[in-house]
A and B are shown apart, each in its own frame.
Chain A
Amino acid sequence: EVQLVESGGRLVQPGGSLRLSCSGSGFTFSNYVMAWVRQAPGKGLECISSITTNGGSTYYADSVKGRFTISRDNSKNTLYLQMSSLRAEDTAVYYCVRDRDFDYWGQGTLVTVSS
């Protein structure tokens, strides 16, 4: 069974930093492109970052470019999102998503940016 489990979300002050993790199991993690999608409270979905299988190519939405960094450790079956210079508008549930087809989603982890 494919499983994606996010962790690391918490309350953080504006300007702060946070690292999210996503552990994958039930599939060959290194064979899949991975992405992060976020959803602000009561709002829609936004794909903010993705990474190719070997980490050689990354994508960032304009809203997070220069502040967030996606990475992966295929030996640990883990995807990361390093978030810095956090703003109130980054408050959201962050989902880890598998593949270009977005076929499997984690349960999400809540990041709250507030003083």
Chain B
Amino acid sequence: DIQMTQSPSSLSTSVGDRVTITCRASQDINNHLAWFQQKPGKAPKSLIYAASNLASGVPSKFSGSGSGTDFTLTISSLQPEDFATYYCQQYKTYPRVTFGGGTKVEIK
């Protein structure tokens, strides 16, 4: 299986800050990478697919980049509603997809 490693596993930051989360695949996945946001007690929500494409209705403050094995999710100006856990997912080997371990973004 392709392993997905996210870093950091958690971070404390302030409203208005720019946040970058990284995701590394154990082998080349081209751009078959998605990002999801999950708030406590809620289902995950799709943010980005194909590494850099925003899902429907997702604000432009979210952006994704990368290809091959290294990817990033950036939130340009963190707002209170953005405090959540973020997961990357590779689907190069669909249906055998794998998720990263998650990055919890907390308020400093």
Contacts and interface: CB of A to CB of B under 8 A. Distances in A.
Q: Determine the interface band of chain B, counting residues with CB < 8 A from chain A.
A: 20 to 34
Interface stretch (B15-23, B67-75, B95-103): B95-103
B99 A105 contact: no
Contact of B91 (A37, A46, A100, A105): A100
Nearest to A33: B95
Interface in B86-108: 87, 89, 91, 94-102
Given A46-B99, A95-B43, A101 B34 contact: yes
A107 interface: yes
Contact of A45 (B49, B56, B87): B87
Interface residues of A, number: 19
Interface in A58-106: 59, 61, 95, 100-106
A59 B46 CA distance: 22
B34 A44 contact: no
Contacts of A105: 43-45
Contacts of A46: 99
Interface of A: 35, 37, 44-47, 50, 59, 61, 95, 100-108
